[in-house]
Amino acid sequence: MDLTKKYYDLHSEMIDLCDKNRLDLNWNVREYPITATITEWEDENKDQIKMSEEFEKETMPGMLVFEFADELTIKITDDFNISEELLNKLKGKVKKLHYQFLQSWYRQIRENNNVSNTDTKYMIEG
């Protein structure tokens, strides 16, 4: 199977898992470190006008952030609640997605001759 297709299939699986659990995924691969930020779906009534003199204070939604820097770091902010089972599913899928992205990205670079064998040797041997 083509690496890029595998990546897009995994991305779709991740979106489906999030949708089934009323979660949104923000998959950021455009800068370092790569992150996957998961938030709960917005409240459908949020944008409705309140007919009250007391306006509720805007609060930041809780987030679950997987950050791929030197190692995987998982951050849970504010009032984000998640079961251990769902956390483990998300963690497993996001790690596979990250790996597949790197494989696909590196292959595209090699095929476009943007990385030489010398560059690769330096990256491996330091």
Q: Among 8-17, 50-59, 116-125, which range has the highest average pLDDT?
A: 8-17
Name the nearest CA neighbour of 74 among 29, 33, 115, 110: 33
Tell me the C-alpha distance between 8 and 1, whole Å: 12
Tell me, yes or no, whether 50 lies in a domain: no
Q: Give this prediction's pTM.
A: 0.76
* pLDDT tens string 63-80: 999 999 999 999 999 889
How many structural domains are present in the chain? 1
Is 105 or 95 the better-scoring residue by pLDDT? 95
Residue 47 within a domain = no
What residue numbers bound the domain in which 69 lies? 3-40+60-125
CA atoms of 63 and 79, how far apart (whole Å): 8
Position 116 scores a pLDDT of 58
| Cβ proximity of 23 and 41 under 8 Å | yes
Q: Looking at the domain assignment, is residue 55 inside a domain?
A: no
Residue 46: inside a domain = no
Q: Is 51 a domain residue?
A: no
53 is a domain residue: no
pLDDT digits (tens, 9 = 90+) for 40-59: 987 655 445 555 545 554 55
